[in-house]
């Protein structure tokens, strides 16, 4: 098993806060993590990251030097830093089955947190229930920003498969059928910089290279069958 990323220091049935094992070894926003806890492991998506002083009564001071210079001249200051991250809980294991949703119990304090690899990310995000949870999250970061980073992370784990991207778009169209402006903005940003999708924001839709469309309903319209 890979080395743990952090350790749970605060826990509830909706979010966990963990301290990184090393202050400069941190997960990315939107990354999927696994908390190995009892009775079953739980999954979360990183929603907030912060680095500060180990001593709550002392704040880091600017030295006017690069990180390399500080490591060489005053390496001890890095021993006084810590990084914490928060993860929104989105699922758990039940036997061998991955389930989406909030876990029955909060993870135990001092449980180890691991960064999920591509295969585990693919398994968990094969179902798209995590999108619904992230749309309404309140974790100190805008819900849409967290959803976009998590969806892009999942898409990367799926090898930038166009079929997965289409499935995400259709699920968002279903969930946001009454909020056309929000849906259009999410679809446009989801595909920014993608070589396999061509956004058409003026029409509220985007297409893959094989011309398969995902279209969001306009205000007051019924979503098309292909988007449900």
Q: Is 187 exposed, middle or buried (0-12, 13-18, 19+ CB in 10 A)?
A: buried
SS3 state of residue 109: coil
- pLDDT, position 95: 87
For residue 135, tell me if it sits in a domain.
no
In the structure, what pLDDT confidence band is assigned to residue 222 with cuts at 50, 70 and 90? Answer: very low
pLDDT digits (tens, 9 = 90+) for 35-52: 999 989 999 999 999 999
| C-beta of residue 83 within 8 angstroms of C-beta of residue 68 | no
| C-beta of residue 86 within 8 angstroms of C-beta of residue 12 | no
SS3 state of residue 125: helix
- pLDDT, position 212: 46
pLDDT digits (tens, 9 = 90+) for 25-38: 999 999 999 999 99
For residue 129, tell me if it sits in a domain.
no
- Count of domains observed in the chain: 1
Give the number of residues written for the chain: 228
In the structure, what pLDDT confidence band is assigned to residue 205 with cuts at 50, 70 and 90? Answer: low
For residue 56, tell me if it sits in a domain.
yes
For residue 203, tell me if it sits in a domain.
no
For residue 225, tell me if it sits in a domain.
no
- pLDDT, position 202: 39
For residue 126, tell me if it sits in a domain.
no
pLDDT digits (tens, 9 = 90+) for 123-152: 999 999 999 999 988 766 789 999 999 999
Averaged confidence pLDDT in the chain? 85
Enclosing domain of residue 16? 1-120
Tell me what percent of the residues of the chain surpass a pLDDT of 70: 83
């Amino acid at each position: 098993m890979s080395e743990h990323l952090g350790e749970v220091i605060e826990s509830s049935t909706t979010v966990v806060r963990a301290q990184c094992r090393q202050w400069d070894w941190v997960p990315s926003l939107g990354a999927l993590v696994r908390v190995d806890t009892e009775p079953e492991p739980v999954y979360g998506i990183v929603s907030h990251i912060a680095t500060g002083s180990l001593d709550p009564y002392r704040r880091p001071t600017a030295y006017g030097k690069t990180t390399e210079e500080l490591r060489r001249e005053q390496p001890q200051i890095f021993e006084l830093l810590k990084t914490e991250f928060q993860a929104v809980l989105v699922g758990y294991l039940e036997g061998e089955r991955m389930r989406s949703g909030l876990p029955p119990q909060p993870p135990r304090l001092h449980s180890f947190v691991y960064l999920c690899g591509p295969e585990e990310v693919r398994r968990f995000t094969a179902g798209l229930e995590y999108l619904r949870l992230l749309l309404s999250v309140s974790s100190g970061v805008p819900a849409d920003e967290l959803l976009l980073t998590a969806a892009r992370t999942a898409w990367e784990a799926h090898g930038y498969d166009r079929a997965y991207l289409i499935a995400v778009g259709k699920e968002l169209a279903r969930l946001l059928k009454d909020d056309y402006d929000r849906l259009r903005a999410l679809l446009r940003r989801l595909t920014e910089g993608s070589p396999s999708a061509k956004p058409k924001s003026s029409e509220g839709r985007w297409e893959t290279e094989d011309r398969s469309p995902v279209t969001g309903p306009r205000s007051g319209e019924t979503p098309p069958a292909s988007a449900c």
